[in-house]
Amino acid sequence: MSLVELEINGKKISQDVEERQLLVHFIRDDLNLTGTHVGCDTSQCGACVIHVDGKAVKSCSMLAVQANDTKITTIEGLADGESLHPVQEAFRENHGLQCGFCTPGMIMAAVDIINRNSILDEKTVREELEGNLCRCTGYQNIVKSILAASEKM
């Protein structure tokens, strides 16, 4: 076991983990933050995207021990109490989801895309969504949601 100390959604955590435990399982099973999803488990689908020290990463491809001494944000950390984050709000308004399984990863990726690009167009959004798969929507409304959110942020 190794001791992991990190901050997640503003809360400090100090816990022993098995070296082979994936970060996504630590977040879901140990911390009970089940908003982060496991989709493909092979680094393709992006349902597990979270922010580690402000960078979007796939938590199914990272060990919990690697996250020692970092600051993590998951989908649960975006909203401010009852007020949704602008990206969450835009997904709601624009019907940016159907089954919702990919949505946490889509939103975490979207926040990162908007943070990195001061001006966004449809082409850029589609390219940037390379690492996130949605099997329901055909991406149409996801792209629309991200573009709408980018104007409000």
Partner 1 sequence: MYQFNYKKVETIEEAVNELSANPDSKILAGGMTLIPTMKQRLASPEQLIDIRNIKELNFIKEESNNIIIGSTTNHFTVASSDLIKNKLSSLSRLAEGIGDPHVRNMGTIGGAISNNDPTADYPAACLGLGATIKTNKREISADDFFISLFETALAEDEIVVSISFPIISDSYYMKFPNPASRYAMAGVFMSKNPSEVRVAVTGASENGVFRWTEMESSLLNDWSKSSVEEVKLSPEGIMSDIHGNSEYRANLANIMAIRAFECINE
Which chain residues interact with partner 1 by CB under 8 A? 2, 18-20, 22, 41-44, 46, 49, 55-58, 61-63, 65-66, 68, 109, 112-113, 128, 130-132
* Closer of 49 and 143 to partner 1 (Cβ): 49
Please enumerate in sequence order all residues whose Cβ is within 8 A of that of 140, keeping only pairs 6 or more positions apart, or say none. Answer: none
* SS3 assignment, position 131: helix
- CA distances (Å), 32 to each of 47, 74, 122, 124, in order? 16, 12, 35, 34
* Closer of 19 and 82 to partner 1 (Cβ): 19
Determine how many CB atoms are found less than 10 A away from the CB of residue 12.
Answer: 9
CB of 108 to partner 1, least distance (A): 9
* Closer of 84 and 133 to partner 1 (Cβ): 133
CB of 61 to partner 1, least distance (A): 5
User: What is the sign of the dihedral through the CA atoms of 70, 145, 46 and 79?
Assistant: positive
CB of 63 to partner 1, least distance (A): 7
CB of 30 to partner 1, least distance (A): 16
CA 15 to chain centre: 22
